[in-house]
Amino acid sequence: MHFVIIPSGAERVCSETSPWAIDGEPDFERRRASMKGLASTSQVMTALERGIEGGGISRGQALLLIEHAELSSLLRAAAAVRDRSKGRTVSYSKKVFIPLTHLCRDYCGYCTFRADPAADGQPFMTSQEVLAVAEAGRRAGCKEALFSLGDQPEAIFPEARAFLRKQGFERTLEYLAAMGQLVLDQTGLLPHSNPGLMPAVDLRRLKESNVSLGLMLEGASPRLWRAGGPHWKAPDKVPSLRLQTIEDAGRLSIAFTTGILVGIGETAEERVDSLLAIRDLHEKYGHIQEVIVQPFRAKPGTRMALAPEPSTEDLQRTLAVARLIFSREMNIQSPPNLLSGDYLLLLEAGINDWGGISPITKDFINPEAAWPQISLLAEKTAGAGFVLRERLAIYPEFSSRPGFVDARVQSCLQKLHGEGGYARN
Ligand code: SF4
């Protein structure tokens, strides 16, 4: 029997497979266990050798490795490729989190960030509030202003339309561009926005104030979008639309952050195919600055409150295969706060970036998971044999690449730029 979502919240109907195994697909762990023994050791060894060469692996090899490789061999291969290209440096960005609006027209099954309009609340942060948070971030040494927000709330909420109209805008993305410009001009922080789907006209406008932009692909499988799935009632999570935004960003030479969400009901093949879809676009445009591999975390009060979370091994396997798929140049990131005390295990799987860490604001997307203190992160990273370095919201390899940084952003970028393209101390 397939799972059924009870809209009122955290209930589920018992099923023979995981409730998040859509259309009867067994979940990732069970599928891997059932496939054990079907691949020959020599095929797996060949795939590992190809991966260690660092030039990228094929779809077939990625599938073999994610499902059949012995974990320690897979991790060693990914770590070796990372060490050869990135050395023992792990980066992070000191950021302040600006949740411009929690209103969103989508209803993703795992999200606690989104909200419908409340009688006593305003739909968006005002420009004064935005500046106050950004300024507090600047004083705390942040260099990135991360704008995170719901997707196109004006499409369904009159409250959003009324607020925007009062400020002289029709659309959230126009207001976002104005707030990014304000923060850049008034504080010198480098904006990085993550507003959901962005048509080309908005990408172009946002590039005038943002040093980079982001949109998680999450998953390339349309299956996740079907009724009852994690992306049910989320029109902005149609994979082809998200791939279109990522492609448009490539055409416009925008340093772009994307990635996948692990454990929301996708199969191993779909996970690999999502990574390959990102690789295809990067091979075409060369604009993906980092790939995030983020584990799903079940949150009370959501439709997926009782859905199983991916295991640490599952996450490590996916990260390691991502490292081998993307070869040596790509920055691979996984956030430390989602693995609690075990986050050093992520380093074993070939990552070279911890993502954005805020010394003053919480992780609004995962409010239950506090970021580690930066000093503690540095200490633990060093204990594992790595050096923690602060980067900017644009990675060193993109910040001096012709055409990637708008002239209006350049002067602020130069002030924050330090040795090797990392953040100035
Ligand atoms: S995950 Fe993003 S798009 Fe989905 S409901 Fe939450 S804010 Fe909206």
Our answer on whether the CB atom of 299 is closer than 6 Å to any ligand 1 atom is no
Estimate to the nearest angstrom the gap between the alpha carbon of 214 and the chain centroid.
8
Give CA–CA dist 350/203, Å, rounded: 31
Give CA–CA dist 56/61, Å, rounded: 10
Tokens at residue 265, please? 């009901």
**239 is a domain residue:** yes
Domains identified in the chain, total number: 1
| pLDDT-above-70 percentage for the chain | 91
Tokens at residue 371, please? 């970021």
Tokens at residue 199, please? 């048509």
Average pLDDT, the chain: 90
**315 is a domain residue:** yes
**216 is a domain residue:** yes
Give CA–CA dist 421/413, Å, rounded: 10
Instruction: Tell me: pLDDT of 107 over 50.
Output: yes
**71 is a domain residue:** no
Residues 293 and 319: beta-carbon distance below 8 Å: yes
DSSP helix/strand/coil, 355: strand
Cβ-proximal residues to 270 (8 Å cutoff; 6+ apart), any chain? 219, 220, 221, 223, 224
**36 is a domain residue:** no
pLDDT of residue 32: 54
* Residue 102 Cα: closest atom of ligand 1: 7
Residues 140 and 95: beta-carbon distance below 8 Å: no
Instruction: Tell me: pLDDT of 85 over 50.
Output: yes
Estimate to the nearest angstrom the gap between the alpha carbon of 226 and the chain centroid.
22
Rounded CA Rg of the chain: 21
Instruction: Tell me: pLDDT of 325 over 80.
Output: yes
Residues 132 and 156: beta-carbon distance below 8 Å: no
**190 is a domain residue:** no
DSSP helix/strand/coil, 395: coil
Its pTM stands at 0.91
Counting ligand 1 atoms within 8 A of each CB, the residue from 106, 193, 297 with the most, and so the one to mutate, is: 106
Give CA–CA dist 30/164, Å, rounded: 48
Residues 369 and 340: beta-carbon distance below 8 Å: yes
Instruction: Tell me: pLDDT of 156 over 60.
Output: yes
- In 3D space, the residue among 292, 308, 279 whose CA is nearest the CA of residue 346 turns out to be 292
Q: Could you report the per-residue pLDDT of 34-79, keeping only the tens digit for each? A: 555 556 888 999 999 999 998 999 999 999 999 999 999 999 999 9
Our answer on whether the CB atom of 113 is closer than 6 Å to any ligand 1 atom is yes
- State phi, psi for 95 to the nearest 5 degrees: -130, 160
Our answer on whether the CB atom of 68 is closer than 6 Å to any ligand 1 atom is no
What sign has the CA pseudo-torsion 245, 291, 222, 161? Answer: negative
Report, as an integer, the average pLDDT of 397-405.
95
- In 3D space, the residue among 216, 222, 220, 218 whose CA is nearest the CA of residue 198 turns out to be 216
pLDDT band of residue 316 (cuts 50, 70, 90) is: very high
- CATH number for the domain harbouring residue 327: 3.20.20.70
Give CA–CA dist 124/25, Å, rounded: 40
Q: Write down the H helix ranges in 197-311.
A: 200-207, 239-251, 268-285
What range defines the domain where residue 360 resides? 212-421
**97 is a domain residue:** no
**55 is a domain residue:** no
- In 3D space, the residue among 412, 423, 363 whose CA is nearest the CA of residue 92 turns out to be 423
Give CA–CA dist 173/195, Å, rounded: 8
CA of 358 to the centre of ligand 1 (A): 21
* Residue 105 Cα: closest atom of ligand 1: 8
Tokens at residue 323, please? 């490292």
